[in-house]
Amino acid sequence: MADIKKVVLAYSGGLDTSVILRWLQDTYGCEVVTFTADIGQGEELDPARRKAEAMGVREIYINDLREEFVRDFVFPMFRANTVYEGEYLLGTSIARPLIAKRLVEIADITGADAISHGATGKGNDQVRFELGAYALKPGVKIIAPWREWDLLSREKLLAYAEKHGIPIDMKHKQGGSPYSMDANLLHISYEGRHLENPSAEAEESMWRWTVSPEAAPDAAEYVELEFACGDLVAINGKKMPAHELLAELNRLGGKHGIGRLDLVENRYVGMKSRGCYETPGGAILLKAHRAIESITLDREVAHLKDDLMPRYASMIYNGYWWSPERVTLQTLIDHTQQHVNGWVRVKLYKGNVIVSGRDSKTDSLFDATIATFEDDAGASDQKDAGGFIKLNALRMRIAARKRRPLA
């Protein structure tokens, strides 16, 4: 890539991307444009700007993407009740397509020749960033330093930073944070160090958003969530923008020890990886969304969604958010949400989200006159069930008569 004159770098201001910034300048002799996304990670972003300025960066983009992130990525994913491998709510995965989108947009704005990221050659994020970039800008050039350089350890990164006068936080010099962390409005993830032994319990001091269930309040808290077309629109009667709704659910869930997960997952690149996650708001949202769907979705539509969900989850986990198959499936999912309107009441108590009520004044399919155990005044003829059962048993009765095995 000798023709690279300007590169847009996804930049956090941490050790890795600070080294990458200088490495790009030295290796490619190019101008670097930095892009820092605010997706609710809760960190001060001004230091990233000051570091970039100190390293000679003239074009610095720091974008508040919190509302777009939740509205256009998190909420569409939760309309599908998306869970990867039965447990993971995809907090890291769902942020990557938005960052990829903004990277290529900034490349177009600035006339950059390439984009760059700090994802390693062992992880999923390199795939997610690059699949997204190629889908949105087919001819884009991508520089992935971890696949090119020989700085393959933390010690080498620190030595490079010291040699080139790159400012490093004291925590790195003194041994560093014990975990590799990623945070946004949906979750915090923890990997590495102590967690690389899957038999070792995560340390209590690691968790940042949630109290332990043992330390959570002894009194349960009731919360009412309102949905419109499958999306959360209000909490306890208060309407808020999407990102504020999720932040409030995080606060409530964290207070009650909700949303912790310790998982060994199968990475797309082939290896198994152990990670811990905090997703308090997402855990509440998933439970509540399924509850409102339980009274507003037709049975077969609900079951079809459940059949498709694992495949949809894999698309997001593996980096195919911008693929035609994900977009097509999203169209189907969104169509199912037209009548997912109403409210759900949940009880939060010591790590648990317990549904205690749900209703939809306009779209409920629950008919108490038919479902009742009392006299239904002829609303349902119970004799109809006999023929229904016989018809469904017909193939088994024929097989039994012929003495043929069922499988």
**Catalytic positions, written as ranges:** 16, 96, 125, 180
The radius of gyration of the chain's CA atoms, rounded to the nearest angstrom, is 25
Residues near 393 by Cβ (< 8 Å), separated by ≥ 6?
Answer: none
Dist. CA 407–CA 127, nearest whole Å = 42
- DSSP 8-state code for residue 201: P
Contacts with 65 (C-beta within 8 Å, 6 or more apart), sequence order: 37, 38, 39, 98, 102
**Hey, what long-range contacts does 148-157 have (CB within 8 A, 24 or more apart)?**
148/27, 149/23, 149/27, 151/19, 151/23, 154/15, 157/15, 157/16, 157/19
Residue whose pair of structure tokens reads 């006999």 in the numeric block: 386
CA distance 260 to 88: 10
Residues 6+ apart with CB under 8 A from 222: 345, 346, 347, 348, 356
Q: How far apart are CA 230 and CA 402, in angstroms?
A: 49
Q: Where are the alpha helices (DSSP H) in 114-232?
A: 125-136, 154-163, 170-173
Please tell me the distance from the alpha carbon of residue 158 to that of residue 164, in angstroms, as a whole number. Answer: 10
Phi, psi of 133 (to 5 degrees): -65, -45
User: Is 271 in contact with 196 (CB distance < 8 Å)?
Assistant: no
Q: How many helices (H) and strands (E) does the chain have?
A: 14, 14
Q: Which two tokens stand for residue 10?
A: 């996804």
Judge whether 146 and 121 are in contact, CB under 8 Å. Answer: yes
For residues 84 and 79, what is the distance between their CA atoms, to the nearest angstrom?
Answer: 14
d(C-alpha 195, C-alpha 180), whole Å: 10
The one-letter amino acid code at 194 reads H
Q: What tokens does 274 get?
A: 């152990």
DSSP 169: -
